[in-house]
Structure 1
Amino acid sequence: MRQIVLDTETTGMPVEEGHRLIEIGAVELVDRRLTHNNYHQYLNPERAVDAGAFAVHGLSNDFLESKPRFNEVADEFLEYVRGAELVIHNAAFDVGFLDAELKRLGYPPLTEHVDRVTDSLAIAREKHPGQRNSLDALCRRYQIDNSDRTLHGALLDSEILADVYLALTGGQWDLSFDNPAETATAGQAALGTIPVDRPRLRVLGADDGERTAHEAWVERLRKVDEAFRWPGTSSISD
C-alpha cells in the first residue's frame, strides 16, 4: 500500500482570492513505513505573500522569486503522487489550492490523478470529539516530538503528520527500516516476556483545553436530555 503524506504552504487565503501555492512537501509511506522517497518544492507564486502568511511560514517574496513556477514542476509532482492514497490534514484546504493550480494548466483535478484523499483531521475529530485536533495538539496527545517546528514548513509538517497519522490509525507505527519479517519475529518473541519489575505505565492526563471541551460537551448533553426528557423521568445527571 503506497501512501503520500502531503502538506502545502501558500501566499495566504482563501484560494478564491487568487492566493497561490509557494511550497509542497510530501513523504512516502509503503506498508506504513517511511521510504525516504520524499518530494519537496518551493514555488514562485507570481504574486506577493501576505504578511499574515509570512508570519506563519517565513517564506519571503525575495526568497521565492528565484524558484520555479508551478507549471514547470506540475508533471513531476503528478508523477510522484500518481495512484497513491494522499493523507492530508484539513485536506480541503490543500486540495483546493492544488486543484486551482492544475486548473490554470488545463489539467484534471487532483483526485483524478490519485487513488483517494484521506483527511487526517476528519479522522482525529471522529476519534477525539470535542477536543483540539490541530497538528500541534495531536503531537502533544501522542507524545510526538515537534520541537523543530518553530515555523510551519511543508516538508517538516508532512513528516510530523506521518507520525500523527500512524498513531491515529492505531497499531504498529514504528518508522524504522528494519526487515519486516525480523520485526514481526521479534514482536512475537517478546509476547509474554514483560518483566514483573517494569516501570509503571505513564498515565496521560487531560490538559486544560481538553477538560474545558469535555465539560462543555457534558453540559450540551445535559441540555439536550432536559429538552427531550419525558415528564417525570430522571435526567442523565441523576
Structure 2
Amino acid sequence: MTGALERAAFTEPLSPARAGVPGRRRPHALVHPVDGQVHWYGPLAWALGPGWSCYGLRTDTGPALDAGIGAMAARYTERLRHAEPRGPYTVTGWSFGAVVAFAMARLLEDAGQDVEQLVLIDPPPLPARPGSGALGVHLSRLLPGRDEEEIGAALAAVTARPAGDRADALAHVLGLTDGFTLRRLAVLVGHHHALDGWMPAGTVERLLLVQPSATAAQGPGGWLAHGRTARHAVVPGDHHTLLDGPALPVLADLYTPGAERAGDMR
C-alpha cells in the first residue's frame, strides 16, 4: 500500500515467474466510484488473472475532497506512478470513477506515458449533472433506516448552503453523529459537488466505453468524441451488476487482445 493506493484484488500475491507469466505484469489503475471505495473492483481484478497488477485508488478525505476532479486526478496519478513508474498503463473507472480516470489518462499521456487503454464503465452522460436526486439515492443507501421523504427534505434544507458546508449541514439536519457515517457523508457530498458541470478537456488515444444493456439505448452520452480511437461495448445487466454476475466475464474479455469479439461492440 502506498498512501491511499491499495491493491484491489489478486488471485494470490504471486510473483510473475511463479504465476507462469514471464516479465512484468500490466499495471492497471481502478478508480473509486462516488462512495470512494474500491472493493467493487475485486471480482474484476480476479477475473483478469495473474498477468495484471491491479491497484484500487481510494478516495482522499478532508479538505482534499473540495479540490475538484483535476486535482484529484493529479494526486491519484502521482500515487500510481510511485507504485508503477512507467507504462503502458490501463486505467479503469466505473460511474463517477470514469470521470477521474479520464482526467488521469490525459495527465499520463501529457507526461509522455502510454495509456494502453482507458476503460469507462457506465460513466455519467456529459456534461455531468448529478443533481440532488442522485445524491438522495446514494444517501438512501448510506442511511437505510431513513425514508426518501426525510432525506429529500434534508437536501432541500441545505441547497442554499455553500458547497463546503453542505455535508456538515446535512449531518446536523439528519442528526448524524457517528464518525464513520460522517466521513462517508462528506465523501458523497464532496464527490457530487466535484462532478457537477464537469466536462472532459481534449481526447485520449484509446478509449473504451462500456455500458449495460439495461440503459444502452440512452446512447454514449458524448464520451466517444473524446477518444482518438474509441470503442463502445454493451454488456449484460444494469449499472449495479456490471462488476459482478453475468456481465463480469464479458467485461474481463474486453481487456484482452481481440476484444472486439467480446460483448456487443458498436
Q: Same fold (TM over 0.5)?
A: no
Higher Cα Rg, which structure = 1
Q: TM-score, normalised by structure 1?
A: 0.30
Q: TM-score, normalised by structure 2?
A: 0.27
Higher relative contact order (CA 8 A, sep 6+): 1
